[in-house]
Structure 1
Protein backbone atom coordinates (compact mmCIF):
# COMPACT_ATOMS: atom_id res chain seq x y z
CA UNK A 1 0.00 0.00 0.00
CA UNK A 2 1.41 3.36 -0.99
CA UNK A 3 0.95 6.47 1.03
CA UNK A 4 0.06 9.65 -0.83
CA UNK A 5 0.78 13.06 0.64
CA UNK A 6 -2.22 15.30 1.14
CA UNK A 7 -2.75 17.97 -1.47
CA UNK A 8 -1.42 21.33 -0.33
CA UNK A 9 -4.03 24.07 -0.31
CA UNK A 10 -3.63 26.69 -3.02
CA UNK A 11 -2.50 29.96 -1.51
CA UNK A 12 -4.31 33.06 -2.77
CA UNK A 13 -2.22 35.39 -4.90
CA UNK A 14 -1.49 38.65 -3.07
CA UNK A 15 -3.35 41.68 -4.38
CA UNK A 16 -1.87 44.40 -6.54
CA UNK A 17 -0.42 47.37 -4.69
CA UNK A 18 -1.12 50.96 -5.77
CA UNK A 19 1.09 53.34 -3.81
CA UNK A 20 0.24 56.97 -3.06
CA UNK A 21 3.33 59.00 -2.22
CA UNK A 22 3.80 62.71 -1.69
CA UNK A 23 4.55 65.54 0.68
CA UNK A 24 2.31 66.45 3.58
CA UNK A 25 -1.08 68.02 2.94
CA UNK A 26 -1.28 66.90 -0.69
CA UNK A 27 -4.52 64.96 -0.30
CA UNK A 28 -3.15 61.40 -0.08
CA UNK A 29 -5.58 60.11 2.56
CA UNK A 30 -8.71 61.50 0.94
CA UNK A 31 -7.55 60.34 -2.48
CA UNK A 32 -6.74 56.84 -1.21
CA UNK A 33 -10.26 56.36 0.11
CA UNK A 34 -11.91 57.78 -2.99
CA UNK A 35 -9.70 55.78 -5.34
CA UNK A 36 -10.35 52.50 -3.55
CA UNK A 37 -14.11 53.03 -3.62
CA UNK A 38 -14.14 54.11 -7.27
CA UNK A 39 -12.06 51.12 -8.37
CA UNK A 40 -14.25 48.67 -6.49
CA UNK A 41 -17.37 50.13 -8.08
CA UNK A 42 -15.84 50.13 -11.56
CA UNK A 43 -14.28 46.66 -11.51
CA UNK A 44 -15.98 44.53 -8.89
CA UNK A 45 -12.57 43.67 -7.42
CA UNK A 46 -12.07 43.50 -3.68
CA UNK A 47 -10.35 46.80 -2.89
CA UNK A 48 -9.16 48.33 0.35
CA UNK A 49 -7.09 51.22 1.66
CA UNK A 50 -4.18 50.89 4.08
CA UNK A 51 -3.86 54.13 6.08
CA UNK A 52 -0.63 55.78 7.13
CA UNK A 53 0.69 53.98 10.20
CA UNK A 54 2.64 57.06 11.35
CA UNK A 55 -0.60 58.88 12.13
CA UNK A 56 -1.75 56.13 14.50
CA UNK A 57 1.73 55.98 16.03
CA UNK A 58 1.76 59.71 16.78
CA UNK A 59 -1.74 59.58 18.25
CA UNK A 60 -0.74 56.68 20.49
CA UNK A 61 2.54 58.18 21.72
CA UNK A 62 1.55 61.85 21.73
CA UNK A 63 4.68 62.88 19.85
CA UNK A 64 6.58 62.46 16.60
CA UNK A 65 9.05 59.56 16.35
CA UNK A 66 12.76 59.70 17.06
CA UNK A 67 15.37 58.73 14.52
CA UNK A 68 15.80 55.33 16.17
CA UNK A 69 12.06 54.62 15.77
CA UNK A 70 11.81 55.29 12.05
CA UNK A 71 12.75 51.78 10.88
CA UNK A 72 10.08 50.09 13.00
CA UNK A 73 7.46 52.51 11.66
CA UNK A 74 8.48 51.78 8.07
CA UNK A 75 8.35 48.04 8.66
CA UNK A 76 4.96 48.23 10.35
CA UNK A 77 3.60 50.19 7.37
CA UNK A 78 4.84 47.43 5.07
CA UNK A 79 3.38 44.72 7.31
CA UNK A 80 -0.07 46.33 7.28
CA UNK A 81 0.03 46.54 3.48
CA UNK A 82 1.13 42.92 3.15
CA UNK A 83 -1.68 41.78 5.45
CA UNK A 84 -4.27 43.66 3.40
CA UNK A 85 -2.91 42.17 0.17
CA UNK A 86 -3.67 38.66 1.43
CA UNK A 87 -7.42 39.31 1.49
CA UNK A 88 -7.92 41.94 -1.22
CA UNK A 89 -7.25 42.06 -4.94
CA UNK A 90 -6.33 45.75 -5.05
CA UNK A 91 -4.68 47.59 -2.17
CA UNK A 92 -4.40 51.38 -2.24
CA UNK A 93 -1.52 52.33 0.04
CA UNK A 94 -1.80 55.70 1.76
CA UNK A 95 2.03 55.98 1.78
CA UNK A 96 4.71 53.26 1.88
CA UNK A 97 8.09 52.89 3.65
CA UNK A 98 9.56 55.19 1.00
CA UNK A 99 8.06 58.24 2.69
CA UNK A 100 9.58 57.21 6.01
CA UNK A 101 12.92 56.97 4.24
CA UNK A 102 12.45 60.46 2.78
CA UNK A 103 11.71 62.05 6.16
CA UNK A 104 14.54 60.15 7.87
CA UNK A 105 16.90 61.55 5.26
CA UNK A 106 15.66 65.13 5.58
CA UNK A 107 15.06 65.29 9.34
CA UNK A 108 17.83 63.07 10.70
CA UNK A 109 20.35 62.95 7.82
CA UNK A 110 19.84 59.16 7.87
CA UNK A 111 19.70 57.45 4.46
CA UNK A 112 19.88 53.91 5.83
CA UNK A 113 16.16 53.23 5.32
CA UNK A 114 16.26 53.71 1.54
CA UNK A 115 17.38 50.21 0.41
CA UNK A 116 14.65 48.36 2.29
CA UNK A 117 12.03 50.97 1.39
CA UNK A 118 12.89 50.82 -2.31
CA UNK A 119 12.82 47.02 -2.27
CA UNK A 120 9.24 47.25 -1.03
CA UNK A 121 8.38 49.95 -3.57
CA UNK A 122 9.45 47.68 -6.45
CA UNK A 123 6.66 45.33 -5.44
CA UNK A 124 4.06 48.02 -6.11
CA UNK A 125 2.32 47.75 -9.48
CA UNK A 126 1.85 51.51 -9.71
CA UNK A 127 3.23 54.55 -7.88
CA UNK A 128 1.25 57.79 -7.82
CA UNK A 129 2.90 61.01 -6.61
CA UNK A 130 0.56 63.75 -5.43
CA UNK A 131 1.34 67.22 -6.78
CA UNK A 132 1.90 70.29 -4.60
CA UNK A 133 -1.11 72.10 -6.05
CA UNK A 134 -3.34 71.93 -2.95
CA UNK A 135 -3.22 74.53 -0.16
CA UNK A 136 -1.36 73.43 2.96
CA UNK A 137 -3.66 72.65 5.92
CA UNK A 138 -2.52 72.08 9.51
CA UNK A 139 -3.27 68.60 10.85
CA UNK A 140 -1.87 67.90 14.28
CA UNK A 141 1.73 67.21 15.21
CA UNK A 142 2.59 65.37 11.98
CA UNK A 143 2.76 68.45 9.77
CA UNK A 144 5.66 70.88 9.86
CA UNK A 145 4.46 73.60 7.49
CA UNK A 146 4.16 74.47 3.81
CA UNK A 147 7.89 75.22 3.58
CA UNK A 148 8.81 71.52 3.87
CA UNK A 149 6.68 70.30 0.98
CA UNK A 150 9.02 71.25 -1.86
CA UNK A 151 12.12 69.62 -0.26
CA UNK A 152 10.13 66.47 0.50
CA UNK A 153 8.77 66.33 -3.04
CA UNK A 154 12.26 66.81 -4.50
CA UNK A 155 13.83 64.15 -2.26
CA UNK A 156 11.07 61.70 -3.09
CA UNK A 157 11.42 62.11 -6.85
CA UNK A 158 15.21 62.00 -6.69
CA UNK A 159 15.07 58.76 -4.69
CA UNK A 160 12.68 57.13 -7.15
CA UNK A 161 14.75 58.24 -10.15
CA UNK A 162 18.01 56.95 -8.69
CA UNK A 163 16.31 53.61 -8.06
CA UNK A 164 14.97 53.47 -11.63
CA UNK A 165 11.35 53.53 -10.46
CA UNK A 166 8.67 55.35 -12.43
CA UNK A 167 5.58 57.16 -11.22
CA UNK A 168 2.56 59.12 -12.41
CA UNK A 169 1.71 62.58 -11.09
CA UNK A 170 -1.76 63.16 -9.66
CA UNK A 171 -2.97 66.75 -9.72
CA UNK A 172 -6.14 68.83 -9.52
CA UNK A 173 -8.54 69.47 -6.66
CA UNK A 174 -11.63 67.60 -5.54
CA UNK A 175 -13.14 65.32 -8.16
CA UNK A 176 -10.45 66.34 -10.68
CA UNK A 177 -7.76 64.83 -8.46
CA UNK A 178 -9.62 61.53 -8.30
CA UNK A 179 -10.10 61.59 -12.06
CA UNK A 180 -6.37 62.17 -12.49
CA UNK A 181 -5.62 59.11 -10.35
CA UNK A 182 -8.16 56.95 -12.18
CA UNK A 183 -6.66 57.95 -15.52
CA UNK A 184 -3.30 56.71 -14.28
CA UNK A 185 -4.65 53.45 -12.83
CA UNK A 186 -6.92 52.46 -15.72
CA UNK A 187 -4.15 51.36 -18.15
CA UNK A 188 -2.71 49.07 -15.47
CA UNK A 189 -6.00 47.28 -14.95
CA UNK A 190 -6.92 47.22 -18.63
CA UNK A 191 -3.87 45.06 -19.32
CA UNK A 192 -5.59 42.27 -17.37
CA UNK A 193 -2.19 41.03 -16.21
CA UNK A 194 -1.39 40.13 -12.62
CA UNK A 195 -4.83 40.92 -11.20
CA UNK A 196 -5.84 37.82 -9.20
CA UNK A 197 -9.29 36.30 -9.74
CA UNK A 198 -10.17 38.73 -12.50
CA UNK A 199 -13.97 39.15 -12.77
CA UNK A 200 -15.99 39.05 -15.94
CA UNK A 201 -15.02 41.54 -18.64
CA UNK A 202 -18.32 43.37 -18.35
CA UNK A 203 -17.27 44.75 -14.98
CA UNK A 204 -14.55 46.75 -16.73
CA UNK A 205 -16.91 48.63 -19.04
CA UNK A 206 -16.45 51.91 -17.20
CA UNK A 207 -12.68 51.64 -17.37
CA UNK A 208 -12.89 50.80 -21.09
CA UNK A 209 -15.05 53.87 -21.69
CA UNK A 210 -12.76 56.08 -19.60
CA UNK A 211 -9.71 55.03 -21.56
CA UNK A 212 -11.46 55.41 -24.93
CA UNK A 213 -12.75 58.89 -24.08
CA UNK A 214 -9.41 60.36 -23.05
CA UNK A 215 -8.59 63.11 -25.57
CA UNK A 216 -5.47 62.69 -27.66
CA UNK A 217 -4.31 66.17 -26.61
CA UNK A 218 -4.63 65.51 -22.88
CA UNK A 219 -0.92 65.74 -22.09
CA UNK A 220 0.32 69.32 -22.32
CA UNK A 221 3.94 70.33 -21.94
CA UNK A 222 3.13 73.19 -19.58
CA UNK A 223 1.56 70.72 -17.13
CA UNK A 224 3.09 67.40 -18.06
CA UNK A 225 1.86 64.21 -16.40
CA UNK A 226 3.74 61.77 -18.64
CA UNK A 227 6.15 60.02 -16.25
CA UNK A 228 8.79 59.28 -18.89
CA UNK A 229 8.88 62.92 -20.01
CA UNK A 230 9.08 64.28 -16.49
CA UNK A 231 11.68 61.74 -15.40
CA UNK A 232 13.86 62.51 -18.39
CA UNK A 233 13.76 66.24 -17.68
CA UNK A 234 14.67 65.66 -14.05
CA UNK A 235 17.58 63.40 -15.00
CA UNK A 236 18.82 66.09 -17.39
CA UNK A 237 18.54 68.75 -14.70
CA UNK A 238 20.55 66.58 -12.30
CA UNK A 239 23.31 66.11 -14.90
CA UNK A 240 23.51 69.85 -15.55
CA UNK A 241 23.53 70.74 -11.86
Structure 2
Protein backbone atom coordinates (compact mmCIF):
# COMPACT_ATOMS: atom_id res chain seq x y z
CA UNK A 1 0.00 0.00 0.00
CA UNK A 2 2.81 2.40 0.92
CA UNK A 3 4.54 1.57 -2.35
CA UNK A 4 1.39 2.41 -4.33
CA UNK A 5 1.01 5.72 -2.48
CA UNK A 6 4.68 6.54 -3.14
CA UNK A 7 4.30 5.80 -6.85
CA UNK A 8 1.15 7.91 -6.96
CA UNK A 9 2.92 10.85 -5.32
CA UNK A 10 5.85 10.56 -7.72
CA UNK A 11 3.49 10.58 -10.72
CA UNK A 12 1.59 13.56 -9.37
CA UNK A 13 4.86 15.42 -8.85
CA UNK A 14 6.01 14.62 -12.40
CA UNK A 15 2.69 15.75 -13.89
CA UNK A 16 2.72 18.94 -11.82
CA UNK A 17 6.33 19.68 -12.78
CA UNK A 18 5.58 19.15 -16.48
CA UNK A 19 2.53 21.40 -16.25
CA UNK A 20 4.52 24.14 -14.48
CA UNK A 21 7.31 23.87 -17.04
CA UNK A 22 4.84 24.17 -19.92
CA UNK A 23 3.14 27.16 -18.31
CA UNK A 24 6.52 28.87 -17.82
CA UNK A 25 7.51 28.25 -21.44
CA UNK A 26 4.17 29.58 -22.73
CA UNK A 27 4.48 32.62 -20.47
CA UNK A 28 7.99 33.34 -21.73
CA UNK A 29 6.97 32.94 -25.36
CA UNK A 30 4.11 35.41 -24.89
CA UNK A 31 6.49 37.92 -23.31
CA UNK A 32 8.92 37.51 -26.21
CA UNK A 33 6.11 38.00 -28.72
CA UNK A 34 5.16 41.23 -26.96
CA UNK A 35 8.62 42.70 -26.36
CA UNK A 36 10.57 41.76 -29.52
CA UNK A 37 8.93 44.47 -31.71
CA UNK A 38 10.12 47.16 -29.28
CA UNK A 39 13.63 45.68 -29.18
CA UNK A 40 13.79 45.66 -32.98
CA UNK A 41 12.68 49.31 -33.11
CA UNK A 42 15.35 50.24 -30.55
CA UNK A 43 18.29 48.32 -32.02
CA UNK A 44 17.80 47.76 -35.76
CA UNK A 45 17.86 50.19 -38.67
CA UNK A 46 16.92 50.73 -42.28
CA UNK A 47 20.24 50.25 -44.16
CA UNK A 48 19.17 52.75 -46.82
CA UNK A 49 19.17 55.63 -44.36
CA UNK A 50 22.48 57.41 -43.96
CA UNK A 51 23.70 57.50 -40.38
CA UNK A 52 24.58 61.19 -40.64
CA UNK A 53 24.09 64.08 -43.06
CA UNK A 54 26.86 65.23 -45.44
CA UNK A 55 29.70 66.88 -43.56
CA UNK A 56 30.65 70.44 -44.41
CA UNK A 57 34.40 70.55 -45.01
CA UNK A 58 36.08 73.81 -45.98
CA UNK A 59 39.29 73.96 -47.96
CA UNK A 60 41.69 76.94 -48.21
CA UNK A 61 41.23 78.89 -51.45
CA UNK A 62 43.75 77.89 -54.14
CA UNK A 63 46.48 80.38 -54.96
CA UNK A 64 45.09 83.31 -56.87
CA UNK A 65 41.47 82.79 -55.70
CA UNK A 66 39.57 84.77 -53.08
CA UNK A 67 37.15 83.87 -50.28
CA UNK A 68 34.31 83.37 -52.77
CA UNK A 69 35.46 79.74 -52.84
CA UNK A 70 34.28 79.26 -49.25
CA UNK A 71 30.84 80.63 -50.09
CA UNK A 72 30.65 78.29 -53.07
CA UNK A 73 31.57 75.33 -50.89
CA UNK A 74 28.82 76.32 -48.43
CA UNK A 75 26.28 76.51 -51.25
CA UNK A 76 27.29 73.07 -52.53
CA UNK A 77 26.99 71.63 -49.01
CA UNK A 78 23.48 73.06 -48.62
CA UNK A 79 22.52 71.43 -51.90
CA UNK A 80 23.92 68.05 -50.77
CA UNK A 81 22.13 68.42 -47.44
CA UNK A 82 18.85 69.15 -49.23
CA UNK A 83 19.28 66.08 -51.46
CA UNK A 84 20.10 63.93 -48.42
CA UNK A 85 17.00 65.15 -46.55
CA UNK A 86 14.79 64.57 -49.61
CA UNK A 87 16.03 60.99 -49.96
CA UNK A 88 15.63 60.41 -46.22
CA UNK A 89 12.03 61.68 -46.30
CA UNK A 90 11.24 59.51 -49.34
CA UNK A 91 12.53 56.38 -47.60
CA UNK A 92 10.70 57.09 -44.35
CA UNK A 93 7.43 57.75 -46.18
CA UNK A 94 7.85 54.67 -48.37
CA UNK A 95 6.13 51.32 -47.86
CA UNK A 96 9.02 48.95 -48.62
CA UNK A 97 9.44 46.17 -46.06
CA UNK A 98 12.77 45.85 -44.27
CA UNK A 99 13.73 42.24 -43.61
CA UNK A 100 15.71 40.85 -40.69
CA UNK A 101 17.13 37.34 -40.58
CA UNK A 102 15.85 35.86 -37.32
CA UNK A 103 16.97 32.67 -35.58
CA UNK A 104 13.82 30.93 -34.36
CA UNK A 105 15.81 28.85 -31.87
CA UNK A 106 15.99 31.02 -28.74
CA UNK A 107 19.03 30.03 -26.69
CA UNK A 108 20.20 30.57 -23.12
CA UNK A 109 22.27 33.75 -22.84
CA UNK A 110 25.99 33.42 -22.16
CA UNK A 111 25.84 36.61 -20.06
CA UNK A 112 25.33 36.45 -16.28
CA UNK A 113 21.76 37.64 -16.56
CA UNK A 114 20.62 36.28 -13.20
CA UNK A 115 23.18 38.37 -11.31
CA UNK A 116 22.47 41.45 -13.41
CA UNK A 117 18.72 41.26 -12.82
CA UNK A 118 19.13 40.59 -9.10
CA UNK A 119 21.40 43.62 -8.80
CA UNK A 120 19.11 45.80 -10.91
CA UNK A 121 15.85 44.97 -9.10
CA UNK A 122 16.96 43.78 -5.63
CA UNK A 123 14.52 40.92 -6.12
CA UNK A 124 14.86 37.15 -6.00
CA UNK A 125 15.31 35.46 -9.35
CA UNK A 126 12.86 32.86 -10.59
CA UNK A 127 14.60 29.51 -10.58
CA UNK A 128 13.46 27.14 -13.29
CA UNK A 129 14.57 23.65 -14.12
CA UNK A 130 14.52 24.41 -17.82
CA UNK A 131 17.92 25.02 -19.37
CA UNK A 132 16.68 24.17 -22.82
CA UNK A 133 16.38 26.23 -25.96
CA UNK A 134 12.90 27.12 -27.13
CA UNK A 135 11.55 27.61 -30.64
CA UNK A 136 9.42 30.56 -31.70
CA UNK A 137 6.77 30.72 -34.41
CA UNK A 138 7.92 33.46 -36.76
CA UNK A 139 4.33 34.28 -37.75
CA UNK A 140 3.35 34.98 -34.14
CA UNK A 141 5.64 38.04 -33.91
CA UNK A 142 4.11 41.17 -35.43
CA UNK A 143 6.80 43.81 -35.90
CA UNK A 144 6.20 47.56 -36.05
CA UNK A 145 6.93 49.98 -38.87
CA UNK A 146 8.19 48.25 -41.99
CA UNK A 147 10.27 45.53 -40.33
CA UNK A 148 9.62 41.88 -41.12
CA UNK A 149 11.34 38.62 -40.16
CA UNK A 150 12.72 35.93 -42.42
CA UNK A 151 14.02 32.64 -41.06
CA UNK A 152 17.81 32.98 -40.92
CA UNK A 153 18.14 29.47 -42.38
CA UNK A 154 17.33 31.00 -45.78
CA UNK A 155 20.48 33.17 -45.65
CA UNK A 156 24.09 32.25 -46.27
CA UNK A 157 26.19 31.88 -43.11
CA UNK A 158 29.40 33.22 -44.65
CA UNK A 159 30.71 36.68 -45.49
CA UNK A 160 29.10 36.60 -48.95
CA UNK A 161 25.70 37.18 -47.37
CA UNK A 162 26.43 40.92 -47.36
CA UNK A 163 27.27 40.94 -51.10
CA UNK A 164 24.21 39.07 -52.28
CA UNK A 165 21.59 40.78 -54.46
CA UNK A 166 18.16 40.54 -52.82
CA UNK A 167 14.74 41.42 -54.19
CA UNK A 168 13.96 43.00 -50.83
CA UNK A 169 15.65 45.38 -48.37
CA UNK A 170 17.91 43.26 -46.15
CA UNK A 171 18.79 44.91 -42.83
CA UNK A 172 20.83 42.15 -41.17
CA UNK A 173 20.71 39.39 -38.56
CA UNK A 174 18.76 39.78 -35.33
CA UNK A 175 18.66 37.48 -32.31
CA UNK A 176 17.49 37.42 -28.71
CA UNK A 177 18.14 35.08 -25.81
CA UNK A 178 15.77 33.41 -23.41
CA UNK A 179 14.46 35.63 -20.63
CA UNK A 180 15.40 35.50 -16.96
CA UNK A 181 12.54 36.66 -14.68
CA UNK A 182 12.26 37.69 -11.07
CA UNK A 183 10.04 35.50 -8.85
CA UNK A 184 7.01 37.77 -9.27
CA UNK A 185 7.47 37.78 -13.06
CA UNK A 186 7.28 41.56 -13.02
CA UNK A 187 10.81 42.12 -14.29
CA UNK A 188 12.93 40.31 -16.83
CA UNK A 189 16.26 40.48 -18.62
CA UNK A 190 17.55 39.11 -21.91
CA UNK A 191 20.38 39.70 -24.35
CA UNK A 192 19.99 40.76 -27.98
CA UNK A 193 22.25 41.17 -30.98
CA UNK A 194 22.04 42.89 -34.35
CA UNK A 195 24.55 42.41 -37.19
CA UNK A 196 24.23 44.74 -40.17
CA UNK A 197 27.44 44.00 -42.07
CA UNK A 198 30.90 42.47 -41.99
CA UNK A 199 32.03 45.07 -39.44
CA UNK A 200 28.69 46.43 -38.40
CA UNK A 201 26.71 45.31 -35.38
CA UNK A 202 25.95 45.70 -31.70
CA UNK A 203 25.05 43.59 -28.69
CA UNK A 204 22.74 44.56 -25.85
CA UNK A 205 21.42 43.60 -22.44
CA UNK A 206 17.71 44.45 -22.30
CA UNK A 207 15.94 45.04 -18.98
CA UNK A 208 12.16 44.74 -19.26
CA UNK A 209 9.27 45.23 -16.86
CA UNK A 210 5.52 44.73 -16.78
CA UNK A 211 3.28 47.78 -16.51
CA UNK A 212 -0.51 47.74 -16.89
CA UNK A 213 -0.32 44.10 -18.04
CA UNK A 214 2.07 45.03 -20.85
CA UNK A 215 5.79 44.42 -21.12
CA UNK A 216 8.06 47.35 -21.97
CA UNK A 217 11.78 48.05 -22.18
CA UNK A 218 13.07 49.57 -18.95
CA UNK A 219 16.73 49.93 -19.84
CA UNK A 220 19.19 48.98 -22.59
CA UNK A 221 22.91 48.39 -22.00
CA UNK A 222 25.34 48.07 -24.88
CA UNK A 223 27.67 45.07 -24.47
CA UNK A 224 29.66 45.05 -27.72
CA UNK A 225 30.02 46.98 -30.96
CA UNK A 226 31.60 46.15 -34.28
Task: Give the TM-score range, shorter chain.
Answer: under 0.3
**Which structure carries more relative contact order (alpha carbon 8 Å, separation 6+)?**
1
Instruction: Output the TM-score relative to the length of structure 1.
Output: 0.20
Which structure would you say has the larger Rg? 2
More strand by share: 2
